[in-house]
Structure 1
Amino acid sequence: MPVSTVAIPVGQWLVSPEGVRWWFDSGSFALDFATTGALGDQGTTDGGPQHERLHAPDDLTEWLRERFPVQMGAARSRDLFDAVALRDAIARMARSAAVGEVLRGTDIDVVNLYAATPDIPPTLGGGTRQAGRSVHTVSQALATIARDAVDVFSPDNEGRLRECDGTDCRMVYLDTSRAATRRWCSMQRCGNRAKVRAHRARKAGKAVPRLEEQAAA
């Protein structure tokens, strides 16, 4: 059962180092957030990391306002510091879980710290008066993200945090498929590349016997 109390759509459009726009379903809102940093390293054509997306408080404000279905206040420098600390802890935990390593206790502490603070509460439409804040704070949004992370790294999801099978792809996702058989960050991207390579390999495999027969003749 998800811990988050706000219905937030999961998944986002990303742009590859080659400039191709593609849809990435991380399986979790917390992982979506972690993808704004090192967890979003897709591999690059020039070998340099191109994953940082939160350069200033305005970047954080924009990202949160695009996703939360509530009115969100503007982020400050302190909010950006807190957001990056939480995001990077989630990213390190995701990478460790994807390769079967033990999660660092300090990262767990960070997630638990933010999860223990007031989050964005659920609301029921149709009322006659405003209950609680009309404008929510960035700290509340971070608490909601942290509570989703608590769910992501729960024992119920053991073995479902995975790194994409694509060559040179380091994207990590939560496999929410019923059979737990997801292999790719996206069928649009690495899944399609794998299909193309397999097709070429099959064609090459069929061509080899003909060449051998011709040589023998």
Structure 2
Amino acid sequence: MPVSTVSIPVGQWLVSAEGTRWWFDSGSFALDFAYTGTLGGDAAREGFHAPDDLTAWLHERFPVAVGAARSRDLFDAIALRDAIWRMAVASAHGEPARSADIDLVNLYAATPDIPPALIGGSRQAGRSVQTVGQALSTIARDAVDLFDPANTGRIRECNGADCAMVYLDTSRAATRRWCSMQRCGNRAKVRAHRARKAERAA
């Protein structure tokens, strides 16, 4: 499983409109966070309906204890998440990001994040439970890395004809074309096979 710059495992299980569960490696922890949202207006994909939903996601993804989210935290999380999503789509289309979205990511990235720590020590350094604000800062800092000029051209939209999934291509040769080989990549193979079969039959 790939690991992001914040040393948090990247990727998550998603459910398609047909009800199929599939693994999506977005290539970035910040993008994983963006995929908890409505993704361009699809209200059925909203993952944060209440503060408890945000708390559950943070507890699942962060290797350290994060406190319970409040209503204000939920508002902040959705604002940050949606800014990251808009920036990712703009980048995938070769368009500039909105300055307001850049400012928002920079604002959260400038606040204290969850500090890295080695496991196995006998003493606790700092607080034992991190705040939701620190978690959002960690996500924002990963977004800063995601949108670094070094990744220009690597934030892409899936080549599937009916798919708009956006991912960071972390492959060495920068040749990734699909959101998932098990999903759109496999569909493309099936279509190509059928086309070749039809040509031979003609």
Q: Aligned equivalents of 2:122 and 2:189: distance in 1?
A: 55
Equivalent residues of 2:65, 2:130 under 8 A apart: yes
The one-letter amino acid paired with 1:7 is S
- TM-score, normalised with respect to structure 1: 0.88
User: Which of the pair has the greater relative contact order for Cα pairs under 8 Å at 6+ separation?
Assistant: 1
Alpha-carbon distance, 1:93 to partner = 0.2
User: Share of identical aligned residues, percent?
Assistant: 76
Which amino acid in the other structure matches residue 15 of structure 1? V
Aligned to 1:138: 132
Structure 1 gaps of 5+ residues are: 42-47, 209-217
Distance 1:200 1:181 in 2: 24
Paired AA for residue 28 in structure 1: S
> In structure 2, what is the equivalent of residue 93 of structure 1?
87
Query: Normalization by structure 2: what TM-score?
Result: 0.95
**Corresponding position of 1:156:** 150
Q: Does 1:188 align with 2:188?
A: no
Tell me: CA distance 1:161–1:71, structure 2 relative to 1, closer, same or farther (3 Å).
same
Cα distance in 1 for partners of 2:105, 2:75 equals 14
| Equivalent AA in structure 2 for residue 116 of structure 1 | A
Q: CA shift at 1:40, angstroms?
A: 8.1
In our comparison, the structure showing a higher alpha carbon Rg is 1
SS in 2 for 1:180: coil
**SS of alignment partner, residue 144 of structure 2:** helix
Tell whether the 8 Å contact from 1:119 to 1:143 is kept in structure 2 after alignment: yes
1:178 aligns with 2:172: yes
Aligned: 1:73 with 2:77? no
* d(CA) in 2 for partners of 1:127, 1:62: 27
Query: Gaps (5+ residues) in structure 2?
Result: none
Letter in 1 for 2:104: V
Give the equivalent residue in structure 2 for 1:214. Answer: none
